[in-house]
A and B are shown apart, each in its own frame.
Chain A
Amino acid sequence: MNGGVPVTMSVNGQEVSATLEPRVSLADFLRERLNLTGTHLGCEHGVCGACTVIVDGAAVRACLLFAVQLEGARVTTVEGLAPEGELTDLQRAFREHHALQCGFCTPGFLTTAHAFLLERPQPSADEVRAALSGNVCRCTGYLGIVEAVLATAQARAKA
């Protein structure tokens, strides 16, 4: 490969090494190289949020990062939010509150909300909406998504 740049990062707890063309986005690296197709591409210009992943604890757009930039980083995708075969309380809440229809935006909302609740465990409804304003959903109208995030926060507070 021409001008391949080596990179080693951790993805969902597993160390991964590759030599890549610099222009390969983190999203494409995850989807094509690692077969983690849960991270979706909806716009490739940083607006829709479908590609949101968690890098070193922060929710970021995978379409605006080049994989070679992630040396030493810890990446969590939607596939890594819960152990294989399990669902987190947030994921279960999404189901209970009908927070998804076609499911294409869902991974981006889950990673965004997951990181948000860790930073802000007891958000108001307005804070939840503002935190989710960087993710587009065409199907649900957002009501169920906001309810699911609030319900998760409330349940955690009681626990």
Chain B
Amino acid sequence: MKPAAFAYRAPASVEEALALLEANREAKLLAGGQSLVPVLNFRLASPPLLIDLNRIDALAGVREEADGTLAIGAMTRHRAIETSERVRRANPLLAAAMPYVAHAQIRNRGTIGGSLAHADPAAELPAVCLACDAQMLIQHTRGTRRVAAHEFFTGFFSTALTGAEVLVEVRFPAWPAERRAGFAEVSRRHGDFALAGVALTADVKDGRCERARIALFGAEDLPRLARADMLLQQPLDAKRIAEAARAVAAGSQPRADHHASAEYRRELVEVLVRRALEQALAS
């Protein structure tokens, strides 16, 4: 399974990468390659040019800003995020999700930017971004723009990224003291893509839920935030958790494929929302 021939460039800066993209609209950006290269090897895609982002050191790194924002460069390897003490302190949900992302060898090369730009509906990181109200920092030839996570994932393997643009950074808002998190997924084997998964955050003050984000992945054609208003201004107890889980499942539009039926995915959504909320309650 050898790929079709392509030209190759490894720019040293984002500007150079953008200029190449601008001049070669059929080109593909190569980040970790863990999703793109299999596609090339199966000859499901034959781009004439690969633009390798791995030489752009400025794109990798985990920074904490003064206001507590966690800024992660798009080319930061999953493994770096998984082992980052800073991430563990600044975003427990992201830290909890990392071990579920594929396998160690994939995490050693795969990048957060690559995962988000690829937007596999069954991937963990897009859902974590949704649950955290993350922001995508996108650079184009005339400057930068920011896109909120809930506007970034637009469809089946589709994002808001247009022609000559590069995702350069993912920004997670500061984690307030009252925020709890939950993460649950069901996959066929350890490390497989989720058949259904839930990443959620709930801010609980004085025993009541002030803000909640329930992000679903794996179950539908794209990752998305489910309606969580039934939880607001309520205590997080078993009864309300069960009701919320039922409501989210009822409101979902699960997909079917040869791994799982829509019905099974819908059942999993209910179970996983419940379990993730129970985790949040217990944490």
Contact = CB atoms under 8 A, between A and B. Distances in A.
A40 B102 CA distance: 21
Given A22-B6, A23-B3, A45-B38, A64 B104 contact: no
B105 A61 contact: yes
B108 A58 contact: yes
Given A23-B3, A64-B38, A133-B190, A112 B105 contact: yes
A69 B6 CA distance: 14
Nearest to A108: B105
B52 A69 contact: yes
B4 A23 contact: yes
B13 interface: no
Interface in B36-61: 37-38, 40-42, 50, 52, 54
Contact of B102 (A5, A59, A63, A134): A134
Given A22-B7, A22-B50, A44-B1, A112 B104 contact: yes
Interface in A46-76: 46, 49, 52, 58-61, 63-66, 68-69, 71
A25 to B, nearest CB: 8
If over half of A's interface residues share one DSSP class (helix, strand or loop), that class is named, otherwise mixed; here it is mixed
A3 interface: yes
B5 A23 contact: yes
Contacts of A2: 5
Interface string A27-47: 010000000000000001110
A18 to B, nearest CB: 14
Contacts of B52: 69
Contact of A45 (B42, B50, B102, B104): B42
Contact of A134 (B1, B79, B191): B191
Interface string A8-20: 0000000000000
B2 interface: yes
Contacts of A71: 10
Contacts of B40: 23
B190 A130 contact: yes
A130 B52 CA distance: 30
A63 B109 CA distance: 12
B7 A60 contact: no
B8 A46 contact: no
A61 B3 CA distance: 16
B33 A65 contact: yes
Find the residue from A22, A49, A68 having the highest chain B CB count within 10 A. Answer: A22
B3 A46 contact: no
B159 interface: no
B5 A61 contact: no
Contacts of B5: 2-3, 21-23
Contacts of B109: 58, 60-61, 64-65
A134 B108 CA distance: 12
Contacts of B7: 3, 22
A81 to B, nearest CB: 16
B206 to A, nearest CB: 39
A131 interface: yes
Contacts of B69: none
Nearest to A53: B105
A22 B8 CA distance: 6
A45 B105 contact: no
A60 B108 contact: yes
B41 A45 contact: yes
Q: List 3 tightest A-B contacts by C-beta distance, closest first.
A: A134-B103, A22-B8, A45-B38
29 contacts: A3-B7, A3-B8, A22-B6, A23-B2, A23-B4, A23-B5, A23-B6, A44-B38, A45-B1, A46-B34, A46-B37, A46-B106, A49-B103, A59-B104, A59-B108, A60-B105, A61-B34, A61-B105, A64-B37, A64-B109, A65-B33, A66-B8, A66-B33, A69-B52, A69-B54, A133-B103, A134-B102, A134-B105, A134-B191
